[in-house]
Structure 1
Amino acid sequence: MSREELEEKLRSLRAELFSIEAKLSVGVPPENISRRRQLKREIARVLTVMRERGMI
């Protein structure tokens, strides 16, 4: 993946995580609570790849 693709994926993952956490803070249970953990792991993976390639 190119730098732009990784950055776009990171943005979309963070936006989805923000949406889930906003629902939790208001007290509305999200459709899939386990998705929060999956998103955090995917974000960590993308950041790891970016660090390995020296993009950060």
Structure 2
Amino acid sequence: MKVIELKGKGLPDLEKELLSLRRIQFGLRFQLKTQQLTDTSQVKKVRRDIARIKTIIREKEDGDEFRQSK
């Protein structure tokens, strides 16, 4: 997932995407523990996508607070 695509989305869309990725992460963890996961790099990719989305959400929230305080 590209940062440019994420920055173009609104907060509700980002939160939906975050929820979706957390569900995917949950499923991947189960597959990993039961040794059904063939591509273990997916765990790392999903974890990084979650971090990207959380960072962008935080930036947008901080930007809104900054604009409201002026």
Report sequence identity in percent. Answer: 30
Gaps of 5+ in 1: none
What's the TM-score, normalizing by structure 2? 0.69
Deviation at 1:4, TM superposition (A): 1.1
CA RMSD of aligned residues (A): 1.4
What's the TM-score, normalizing by structure 1? 0.84
Gaps of 5+ in 2: 1-8, 63-70
Larger helix fraction of residues: 2
What is the count of residue pairs matched by the alignment? 54
2:27 — aligned with what? 19
Max Rg structure: 2
In 1: Cα distance, 2:38 partner to 2:12 partner: 30
